[in-house]
Structure 1
Amino acid sequence: MIARHKFEFVDLSDLFALANAYEKPDSPDYSTYVIGVLVDFEHVWKIKTMYGLKDICKFRITDGRDSHKVTVWGNLVVTTDARVREVKAGFKDGEEEPIIVIASSTKLKIWKSSVQISTLPGSKIYINLDHDFVFAMRQRLREEGYVPSDKTTSSPTTTDVKEVVYVIETVTLKELSEKTSTDFLKMSFMCKVKVKFVEESDNWWYGSCNKRDCYEEVIKFEGKFKIVVLAEDDTEAFNFVLYDRVVKRLLGKTVTNLMAEDPASYPPPLKQIAGREITVKVELTDDNILVSSTVYYVVDAYECSVSTSPVLEDIDTGTSVSNYTNVTFIEEMITSGLGSMSAVRVQGCVVGYGNSENLKIWGFGCRGFAKH
C-alpha cells in the first residue's frame, strides 16, 4: 500500500543553523517540515498589515528540548483553530495528552536571535495525524516523562485588532549606509527612493530549476529576473539589486512574458522602471556590514503610493488567497519567495545562463545537466 503522507522532518534543534545559513532569508531555497508538541496556542486574531487586516493564529512547537514560535496565515488559520478546539474538547478531565502537530512546507526566519516559523500557501498543518511519526513521538514523550504545559491554549486580547509589534524602520539612504554595526546584520529597513537608471545587461535574467538533486533530469526550467538599478533620495544614491519577486511586482510580468514580446533586445518594460518612485525593503548583508558595501539587495518593493505603515517583519508570508491549492509562484506576487512550492526542502539551482561571474554572484550552481 502506498503511504498517503510522506515526511522528511528537520529536528527543532537544527532549525537555527538552517535558517542562519540562508543566503536570501526572505526567499530561502528550502521549505521545511517540522513535528512537535503544540503548546501556548493563541486562537484566531487579526493584525494590521500593509495589505489590510489579516487573520493569524500562533503557537509554539516543542519536542521537549527545543521550542520555536509558529505563525499560521491565510485559510489555514480557521482550519487549524477549529481542529485544535475539536481535539481539546475531546479530552477528559485530568487526561489531557500532548497535541502532536506537523507543519509542512514552512518558511524559517531568524528574528532577534530566535527562529520564527511561518506557513506558506503550500503549507499544511496536521493535528494528531494517524501516522507512525506521531506515534513514535508520543511514545518518546511518555518514556521521557513529558508533561503538557499548563498554558496549552489561550485567547487573544479583547480588542478585535491587534497592533503589529515589530515595525520595519524607514530610513534615508544616508542613514542606511551608516548602519554598519554587526547588530544590524540581516535586519530589514525600508527606503523611499527614485530609480534614476537601470543597467542594461545581457544578464537581466537567469535560469533556475526546482530539482532537489542536481543530477536529476531537468523537467521544468524557469527564467527569473535579476537587474541592477541606481536609485536615490535627497541624501544619497546607491546601486540596488532587484530579484525576481521584486521585478515581477513592479512590472506585473514574468521573464517568459518579456521573452515572448521581444527575445532579441533588452526589454523596454525594464527600462521604464527608471523614473519610478518606489519603497524598497532592503536586508543588510555581510558585505554591507563588514566591508561597508553600498550595493544593497532588495527583497521587496512597492509603489510609493502604497501605504507602508505598519509593516510586519514577516509579512511576506501573510498573503490571503481563496484557494491555496491553485496558487503558483508566478501568478501570486505578494507571497514569499517560495510561492506555492510544497515539496520537502526544495532547492533552486542556478544553471549555466550568463557568464561565470554571474554564477559567482549567486553563489551556487547545478551540476551534471547544464551546458554553458
Structure 2
Amino acid sequence: MGDILIPSLMVGDCSHSLCVRVSRLWEFLDPQDDSRLLHTDLVLLDEEGNSIHAQVYPPLCQQFSALLDEGGVYNLKYFLVRKANRFYKPVENCNMISFTKWTTVEVVLQIPPAFPVCTYNLTPIEQLQPRVDHKEYFMDVLGVVSVISHVSSLRTRGRQAEVMKRTVTISNARDTGPTVDVVLWGERATAFPVEHIHRDSGSSPQIIIFVGTLVRSYADNVSLSGGSSCKWYINAPVPEVNALRTSAETNHHPVIWDQGKAAAEGTVIAVPEHKKLKDIKYLRPFENKKKEWLVIVKILKIDRSWWYNACKKCLRTTKPHGDTYKCTNSSCDSIGSPTPRYKISLTAEDDTDTAEFIFFGRMAQRLIKKCGHPHLD
C-alpha cells in the first residue's frame, strides 16, 4: 500500500505514495459547448475509507484518462494538494488533489478484499427542501425506486441543442412518506439500467443510492438534478440499504413506467440499441437509413483530411471548373463558389471487427474538437 493516508496530506507538492481507489470518475464539459472538456473529476478513497476530491485539467486529461479507470486501485505520486473548491464538492474534505505533468500512476494488482469501493454522505429526503440551490456540496440520497420515466428530449435554457432527460422517483418506503424525483440528464439518462431495475422490482424492492446530485426546485416541487457527476449504487450491500429494505419489503410494489411524465416533459425518444460492428458492418444502407444503433469502439486512426469543398445546393463534393467549381453530383451539376464543410474519416474497432466511419458537418466539427485534430487551427 501507499506511504500515507488521505488525512495526512498537507497543502503543497506531495512526493509520497498514496494508494487510492478511483471510486468515481466523470468529465465536466462546457455547458455551452459539450465538445469542450473543462476538467476531469475523481473521488478517491484510501484503504481506510477516507475520501478526497481530485481534478485533472487540460491538456493532461487525455494523458490520465488512458491510465485511470473507475473502480481501479492505484499508487499516486508527485501530485499537488490544495485547498478544496468553494463550490460543488463531492466529499467532505478541506483539501483536494490536482494532477500535474509530473504525477505518476501505478496500477495496484493485488487489492485487499476489504478495500472500500464507494463513499457517500446521505441526506434524508425530508431534509432536502432547505438545501435547494445549495452549491457548496453535491447531495447524496437513498431511496426505493417507485416510478421511472422513458427518456425524453427537450431544450433547456442556455443550450443550443436538445438534451436527453429521464426521471426516477424514489421514496423512503413509507406509504405516507415523502418522495423525490431524481432527474438524470444526457448520458446519465441513457446509461441508467431501467430494464434491469424494472425486471428485478417484480420480486424485491430496488434500493438506490444516488451520489453527486444537486437540489433544485421547480413549481414549488423539490427535485434532484443528476448530471455527469451523478453516480448510483443499486442494492449495495451496506447497512443503510439493508435497513431500508427491511421496511420496504412489507409493502412492496413493482416499479411503474410513467409514460405520461416523459410525454409531458418533451418528445419521447427511443434509446438506440447496442450493437457490435459485426452486426451492422454489412447491412444494406438503403434499407436501414433511418435506424440508429449505439456502437462502442476504439479509434485506431483519424484521416489527415478534415474538410472538403461542398456544393451549396446538395452538399456533395465539388471539383474545379475553370475559375469556379462544379458539383460532382450528376443530378445537381451546380456551378459556383463552394462552401468549406467539415468531413472526417476514421478507422475504429471493437472486439468483433474493424470499420471506417465518416462524419460530416456539425458532427465532424464536434468530433475534431473533442479529439484535438492536429490540423484544426
Same fold, TM-score > 0.5, yes or no: no
TM-score category of the 2 structures, normalised to the smaller one: 0.3 to 0.5
Instruction: Tell me the TM-score normalised to structure 1 length.
Output: 0.37
Return the structure number with greater strand share: 2
Higher relative contact order at CA 8 Å, sep ≥6: structure 1 or structure 2? 1
Instruction: Tell me the TM-score normalised to structure 2 length.
Output: 0.36
Return the structure number with greater helix share: 1
